[in-house]
Structure 1
Amino acid sequence: MRIRIVDAFTDRPFAGNPAGVLLLDALPDGTWAFPDDRWLQRVATEVNHAETAFAHRLPEGGGADWALRWFTPATEVNLCGHATLATAHVLHSTGAHPGQVRFATRSGVLVATPEADGSLTLDFPTAPLTEVEVPDGVAETLGARPLAAFDTGPNVGDLLVVLDDEKTVHALAPGHRALGAHSARGIIATAEAEDPSRGYDFVSRCFFPNVGIAEDPVTGSAHTALAPYWSGRLGRPRLTGLQASPRSGRVGTELRGERTLLSGRAVTVIDGELHARPDQAVGSQSTLPASSA
């Protein structure tokens, strides 16, 4: 089977967020199904990027075109933006599904639409934000005192914390393990952009120790929480976020009530062949709890 590494939310290699993408072959009888979960997890662990996406075709005439699942090196997740963008990029660029594609996922049907400028737009559920008290220990672990904190709901599963300024976000050097005590997945740290003329309105960094990711390079799902917060603060439905990880990447957001549009580009960096097929023994592997990325 062909396996690809795609850098998402960037227009150049070695930036943005890399994702593995595996378009699964049909079964011998011509039908489509996901292989054993243990095999999927082993492949994701082998790829060892923040997420690996697995997709297979669905019968024509249904509510979705492809079934899609995402795995970190440690566990399956409920929602992942960059690996969805990467999968849509592969389907579009290879001609496997050149137009708009509907993905059946744990988070419902997610739609990816190719745009005339070469970007892709994802239609995702908006994360419900609930303001909470800043948990004890967060300021010490982050090395910065948040101005406010928000629970992002079960699909995203993060604690969103708002910091004083962009420089503070860039300078964070948190104790990653300790961050995991405060939410299901981890922490999104954000602040308003110092200079919007640089082409972005807010900055963020994302730390997800509970799913085996110390710092995620660019997180689509986090922007389903960042979009409603910053659109409410800045009074505009369309914004651009810079995720200020070492690889960096930009995510366009458009708030549409219960849905958030995420836009970005992607580039295929590696295109190869996976030799370890699903019918090969994978041994035992423990089941880990699901989260989001």
Structure 2
Amino acid sequence: MVGFGPYVLLHTLGEGEFGKVKLGVHTEFGVEVAIKLIRRGSLDDEVRASKVEREIDVLKTLRHPNIVRMFDVIDTEKYIGIVLEFAGGGELFDHILANRYLKEKDAQKLFAQLISGVDYLHKKHIVHRDLKLENLLLDKHRNIIITDFGFANRFNHASDDLMATSCGSPCYAAPELVVSEGLYVGSAVDIWSCGVILYAMLSGYLPYDDDPNNPEGDNINLLYKYIMTTKLNFPDHISPLARHLLQMMLVPNPEHRCTVQEIMVHPWLSAHA
């Protein structure tokens, strides 16, 4: 057994850009945590180092039931360890796969929690910029926990919520990240990603990943062209209200995309208003 500060490190929960995420148990209190171990040797340039700094800085300020909590940062000679809340229910991605897709009643609860967390972030002038199924965990009570704030960034005022760095995962990235040469609205980018997540919850697959010329969706230029020229299709079982909400969110032009407030008052989410 390997000790790390007041914790014993157990098995690996996942692998990140800078190292592994391990399950840790507090030696005195027996509390389970997730410890993100960042090798100091991997922070060999300013960009990577500032990314970790920004993640820690953002996490310090967040207190929301659907956002991962940071308990501590432990510095050693070889590692920086970010001690996080352990979400024992696994990834939302695996939960959807196990069920093929989610019933709308289940999806409504989880999606309302996601939007509550995103609204909280935006009100604190923070955008996540990498919302995707793999960054959404479930706690033991099957509640959403938003994780991985490596791409998160701050903006000063709602009126100047403009970002410049293109980031995120291609299949979840808003079209303006590809097409706009300059600035984009960060909060609108998060809303697009939430739309992709909701579509995946309800259908069991990602929208716009059925292009025969780009089956993996990893060629972002082809993906963008496909998004701009292809009407959003839905499986037959998705209700008209859910379709209406998705059509408000998955709008390629960010100026016409809905806001978080419009999502929160949408009738599809009325049970969780």
TM > 0.5: no
How does the TM-score come out when normalised to structure 2? 0.27
Name the structure with the higher helix share.
2
Name the structure with the higher strand share.
1
Structure with the bigger RCO (C-alpha within 8 Å, sep 6+) is 1
